[in-house]
Structure formats: C-alpha cells, structure tokens
A and B are shown apart, each in its own frame.
Chain A
C-alpha cells in the first residue's frame, strides 16, 4: 500500500505534523529511528518559561496522535529521501506522495570542549544530564552530596568557531535561566552562577524570567566564558573565567559545573542532502527554500520541513511550524488532484 505522506522523525515536530495531517484527513506514516517517539523532549523535565512539565506536553500530543489513527513505526531509520518516497536503512523502500522531514537536531558533544573536562571529571554535567537528574528527583554531586555552589556555562558548542559551531542555538540562554531557577528552588541556600557571553532572551516571557532569576532568586550572572575546568582534591570543580564587566580574572570552586550544550545539525542532514532538492545551509542545518514565505519548503514540490531540522527552535516554534508544514502538504496534495 502506498502511504500518502511520510513524516521523517518522531520528535515533537514530527508528531505534530502527523497529527495535523491526520486532522486534515491525510493518512500519515510517522517513521522514528529509535524505540519510541517523543524525541529529545522525553528527557526533559520542565519547559521554559512556564515550568510546564515536558511530560504534560508530550502526553497530550501522544494521546491525540494515537486517537488520530496516524500510523507510527519506530525502529525505522530513513537513509534516503527521493521523489518517490523514502528508503530505510534496512533497504525497505516506502512510496509517498509527499515527505515531511522532521529529523530534528543532535545535542553537541561536550567532550569536544576538552577544557571543561566533561566525561573526565565526574562533577561536570551537561544541561541534558541535569534534566535527567531533575526527572529522577536526584540532583546531587557524584559523591551524593547536596550541591551548595553550582555554575552553569552558556554557549558550549554554540557560537564557537573552534568546534565548527558558528550558529547560536537560541534556547540555551533561557534554559540556563530556567535550570538555575529550578536548582534554586531545590536548594534555596545554594549559590548559582550563570557564565555567559550574551544573554539572548528572544521569546515572550523570557526577559521577565531573566529578571526574576536575578531579583527574586538571587542568581548570579557573570559575563565571561569559562576558560578551563579542573578537578580539586575533593572532586569539586575549579573554574577560571574572566568577568568582562569588572575586567578581572576570576577563579572559583564549584560543586557542579553544568554545560549548556547547543544544538548541532542532525547527523542525517548530510545523507538527506544527497537529494539535490534538499539543500544545506553553511551551518549544515537544512536550508528551506526561503526564510519567509516558504520556510517549510524544499526545492522539490513534495518535500517539506518542520522543526529543528532547519535551525534551532523552541518547542512552541517547532509545533507551529509542524502545523504550517501539514497545511502546505495539504495544499500540495489538493492541487495535484
């Protein structure tokens, strides 16, 4: 049987696309490479700026997707996208009238920033690790102690030419603010420091949350990137930075160092771009036809995009784009009939 539309990727953008297509009477086939759908959000605790549990958003989306009757296939990784449909890594070809690519992003591998010692020093964590710790309700140091001083470092794998990541991942700034507040709620007497080079509060309510973090929660913001992290004899983390507002170098020891890792273009993007209709931007995110009127369109009339496959986005933006992509698919299919 030939499915009408294939949605590549079962993260929130793919789920919403499939749901919106089903709501428009189009039978989607959602393909997810891993064992379950939900994407990166399955590992997240609460969402900025409202502290809405990620499980709430995912739960609602999953239930509605199930009710819609959309077909979901997990453990199905797409190798190639062509005019006729897609080819899976196991060699299966699936035909489709249209394909929506929602393959998302990869998390930056913090080990590449060797100077921070991730994977070497046990008390250096990533923002994704911290979300998992929040979910397990166990935010403790590697030695099982309650942290009393925590540093969050922004822009790890973002705006960093040295690791080939020139783009801004956008959501890490507000994630740092959100995680700092969550930590402060958990440990009210702890000192929480955010080390940043710019604070980019682009979304509604973000700037207010940034102020709230400082005024209500007493979270410290230091403008300066950490140059290196080392382990102390008691397994804490010594960090060095320059406070560029004061113009002085700074050295402190923290119980935990959290690296706010950026969004990396999906590994599959290059593979998909073997199809000449799928272009890559210099950042290696997928390049939409244009940034305004066709930002969910490829160079082919039947291949569409939604979510972070084209650029770093927050949850709301990804969901909105998924609805737009479904709309464009519906227009395309109806124009063909």
Chain B
C-alpha cells in the first residue's frame, strides 16, 4: 500500500444515514442500490433512512447549463429539508455527480452566505420547508470504505483467484466529481484516491496503477448528452482501456454511476467498431460497482446483484473468485420470469450462455 494514498482522511459517521439515490443507476446497475441497503441494514446492522419523495439533484441538468444555480441550490435545500424532517444529520449520496453538487452547495454557502439565505428563502416560498445543514456528507462508497474491515471479517469470498491463489488485479476508477472538485472531500484526495483502493486491499486484491488511471471515463455530460460529441466519450474510455490492458486486469470497479456504465458499455461499442477487446481470453474486462464487489465478497448471488445487466459478461470473474452461480437463472427476473437476453456480442466472445 502506498502511504500517500491514505494521507487525505475525513470523518465518516458510523451509523444513522439519510440516503439519496442516483437518477440513472437503477437503469444500468439496478441491483446496486438495493445491495447497498441490504448490506448496510442486514449485514452491518446500520440504520439507513430512505425518503420516497426525494428528487433528482438536477446535477446533470446543471452541468449541461439547463438548470440554473439558484434552482439547483433550492433542490439541494429541499433534500436537506427531507433529511432534517426525518431527524437525520448524516447525508449520503449514491451518485458521484450528486455528491459533487451537495459539496459544491455547501462550499458556496460557506464562501457566499447570501446564497444560502437565498436558497432558504426560495425553498420556504416554494414548499414551506426549512432545513439544517448536514453534519456530514459522504458518498456511499465512503460508507462501504468505512465499514470495509467489518465486511472483510464477514467475507465469503476474497478478491483472490481461487485457482492460482494470487490476488485479483483490479483497476479502480474514481468518478471525477468525487475529489477532483474538492480534494478534501475524498479519501486519498484527488491524485491518489484511496476509497476503492482501500476496499480492494482489505478484501485481498491488488490495485493496478496504470498511466491513465486519473483520466475521465469520458462521460463528461456534454460529451455524451450531445450526440455529435459521443466520439469524444468513446475516445476517452478507449484511452483508458489501451492504458490498462497491458496490466491484465481481472476487473474494473467504479464508484460513479456514469463511469461504471461507460466503461462497461463502451467496451461493447469499441469491440463492434474496431474488433478490439481489452480483457483476457478475447473477452472484455468486467466492470463492477463497489456495491456489487462488496456483495460478491459477502456471498450475494450475482444475479440478485443485477450483474446480468452488464454489457461485459461477469462469469469469467465469478469463476476466478470461485463463486457458484446458476447459469440458467441469469436472465430470469425477480419473479422467475424470462427477461430476455442480449444478442451475441464480440466483447463477450459470443460465448454467453444460451437458454
């Protein structure tokens, strides 16, 4: 472990969290947020409050110049009001973009108190609500990081190749808005973030430090949202894949909804466009969310974790970890109903299970 990766530290509350979800994760990695709640409540016995009437933070609109600053600060104020009304003070966010937004609002209110007054006034006029600022704001990857040793003690599987006995080689990808905006808000700061690296190390894996480790996944809001710019998005991901491939990673883990999605989906795109795959044995590199990684370590069923929704097949990783799974259950939904399966794809070497 590189000591410098641990130099930035922050206080993380141990219990009693108010949880806000991501707008997009439930579509792309539908099991991850549920897994987080299950792990926190059932495995770690922690109290996590979720409020059904919370909204999008509107961060994507904000970063695309659609949502004005005053509007997003009022939305943030409303989320905090919901937390206050529920009697909580530790605010945790599932989304990295939102995490950046909440920190940005707090910083702005601290530097320019008149903006906080304005947000309070707008919120009160619009909804009659008032709020207290959170005692702590954390990303949910921070929470898993905080409890990583407890998870390690309950581990059913380690990040170790059961055949060779060697640690799995893991690429960790941190969302840009985790610490690049405010380095003090992230474990390890912005250059050597430790939040995912710490989990990997505690659970037996090796962290790969490759030249384009810090590079953006390519989401970049406008890169993707403006269709004409999507080439930039793919090019950014491709730059990372080219850089990490020589290290032969067993999987990638990301803590940002957009990053996990693009690092997964663009592998399919690049394979189809250029015939290039970056993983071993002619297959793509599996991309996991940190909740999925924690879930596998704790012995959750991969299909319960929603891993059948990945573009790049995860079975090679499950095999390496010695995780048993039912191949025929992969495309069976919650009620055992067949949910359909994707067409053959080069990124999976066309080898996925046929039902």
Smallest beta-carbon distance A96→chain B, Å: 42
Residue from B4, B189, B214, B246 in contact with A230 in the complex, judged by beta carbons closer than 8 Å: B214
- In the complex, which residue of chain B has the Cβ closest to the Cβ of A119? B4
List chain A residues, Cβ under 8 A from B212: 230
B4 touching A233 by the CB < 8 A rule? no
* Residues in A whose Cβ lies below 8 Å from that of B190: 114
Tell me if B325 is interfacial: C-beta within 8 Å of chain A: no
What are the residues of chain B within 8 A of A114 when measuring CB–CB? Answer: 4, 189-192
A115 / chain B contacts, CB cutoff of 8 Å? 191
A232-B211 contact in complex given A114-B4, A120-B4, C-beta closer than 8 Å: yes
How does the 8 Å CB contact mask read for B192-235 relative to A, with 1 for contact and 0 for none? 10000000000000000111111000000000000000000000
Q: Which residues of A in the span 151-175 have a Cβ within 8 Å of any Cβ on B?
A: none
Which residues from A are CB-within-8-Å of B4? 111, 114, 119-120
B192 adjacent to A230 (CB under 8 Å): no
When distances are taken between beta carbons in the complex, the residues of chain A under 8 Å from B211 are 230-232, 238
Distance from A123 Cβ to chain B, minimum over Cβ atoms (Å):
13
A232 to B208, CA, bound (A): 11
Residue of A nearest to B192 (CB): A114
A228 at the interface (CB under 8 A from B): yes
Q: Which residue of A lies closest to B244 (CB)?
A: A233
Report the contact-size class of chain B (Cβ under 8 Å from the partner).
10 to 19
Q: A interface vs B, CB < 8 Å?
A: 111, 114-115, 117, 119-120, 228, 230-233, 238
Contact B214 A228 (CB under 8 A): yes
Closest to B208 in A: A233
* A230 / chain B contacts, CB cutoff of 8 Å: 209-214
> Is B2 at the interface (CB under 8 A from chain A)?
yes
Q: How far is the CA of A232 from the CA of B190 in the complex (A)?
A: 19
Give the CA-CA distance A117 to B211 in the complex, in Å: 12
Chain B residues with Cβ below 8 Å from A120 are 2, 4, 192
* A117 proximity list for chain B (CB < 8 A): 191
Across the interface, name the chain B residue whose C-beta is closest to A117.
B191
Give the nearest-CB partner of B8 in chain A. A114
Q: Is B247's beta carbon under 8 Å from chain A? A: yes
B2 partner residues in chain A, CB cutoff 8 A: 120
Of residues 236 through 265 on chain B, the ones whose CB sits less than 8 Å from some CB of chain A are 246-247
In the complex, the chain A residue whose C-beta lies closest to that of B190 is: A114
Q: Is the CB of B210 within 8 A of A233?
A: yes
Chain B residues 158-200 with CB under 8 Å of chain A are 189-192
Known A114-B4, A114-B189; contact A233-B247, beta-carbon cutoff 8 A:
yes
* Bound form: Cα–Cα A115–B189 in Å: 11
15 cross-chain CB contacts under 8 A: A111-B4, A114-B189, A114-B190, A114-B191, A114-B192, A115-B191, A119-B4, A120-B4, A228-B191, A230-B212, A230-B213, A230-B214, A231-B209, A231-B211, A233-B246
What residues on B are CB-neighbors of A228 within 8 Å? 191, 214
Q: Which residues on the A side are within 8 Å of B210 (C-beta)?
A: 230, 233
Closest A residue to B213 by beta carbon equals: A230
CB neighbours of B247 from chain A (8 A): 233
Distance between Cα atoms of A230 and B212 in the complex (Å): 7
Bound-state CA distance A228–B209 (Å) is 14
Q: How far is the CB of A302 from chain B (nearest CB, A)?
A: 44
What residues on A are CB-neighbors of B191 within 8 Å? 114-115, 117, 228
Bound together, the chains give a CA A37 to CA B211 distance in angstroms of: 43
Chain B residues whose CB sits within 8 angstroms of the CB of A119 once the complex forms: 4
Say how far A230's CB is from chain B's closest CB, in angstroms: 4
**A114, B247: Cα distance in complex, Å:** 23
Q: Which residues of chain A come closer than 8 Å to B213, judged between CB atoms?
A: 230
- How many angstroms from the CA of A208 to the CA of B209 in the assembled complex? 42
Given A230-B210, A238-B211, 8 other A-B residues pairs in contact with their CB atoms under 8 A: A114-B189, A114-B190, A228-B214, A230-B209, A230-B211, A230-B212, A233-B246, A233-B247
A115 CA / B179 CA spacing, docked (Å): 13
Residues of B within 8 A of A231 (CB): 209, 211
Q: Which 7 A-B pairs have the closest CB atoms?
A: A114-B191, A230-B211, A238-B211, A233-B246, A115-B191, A232-B211, A120-B4
**Docked complex Cα distance between A230 and B211 (Å):** 5
A114 CA to B186 CA, complexed, in Å: 14
In this complex, what residue of A is CB-closest to B5? Answer: A120
Q: Separation in Å of the B316 CB from the closest CB of chain A?
A: 22
Query: How close is A63's CB to chain B, nearest CB, in angstroms?
Result: 43
Q: Report the separation of the CA atoms of residues A231 and B213 in the bound assembly, to the nearest whole angstrom.
A: 10
How many angstroms from the CA of A117 to the CA of B189 in the assembled complex? 13
Distance in Å: Cβ of A105 to nearest Cβ of chain B: 25
B214 to chain A: which residues have CB within 8 Å? 228, 230
Per the bound structure, the CA–CA distance linking A117 and B214 in Å amounts to 12
**How far apart are A249's CB and chain B's nearest CB, in angstroms?**
12
Among the interface residues B191, B211, B212, B246, which one has the most CB atoms of the partner chain A within 10 A?
B211
For A232, list chain B residues within 8 Å (CB). Answer: 211
Nearest CB of A to B2, in Å: 6
Q: Which B residues from 3 to 62 make CB contacts under 8 A with A?
A: 4
In the complex, the chain A residue whose C-beta lies closest to that of B189 is A114
**Complex interface: chain B residues within 8 A of A238 (CB):** 211
User: For the complex, what is the distance from the CA of A238 to the CA of B211, rounded to whole Å?
Assistant: 7
Q: Which residues of B contact A111 (CB under 8 A)?
A: 4
| Complexed CA–CA distance, A257 and B39 (Å) | 45
| Complex Cα–Cα for A228 and B192 (A) | 12
Q: CA separation between A231 and B246, bound complex, in Å?
A: 13
Enumerate chain B residues within 8 angstroms of A233, measured Cβ to Cβ.
Answer: 210, 246-247
Q: Nearest Cβ distance between residue B189 and chain A, in whole angstroms?
A: 7
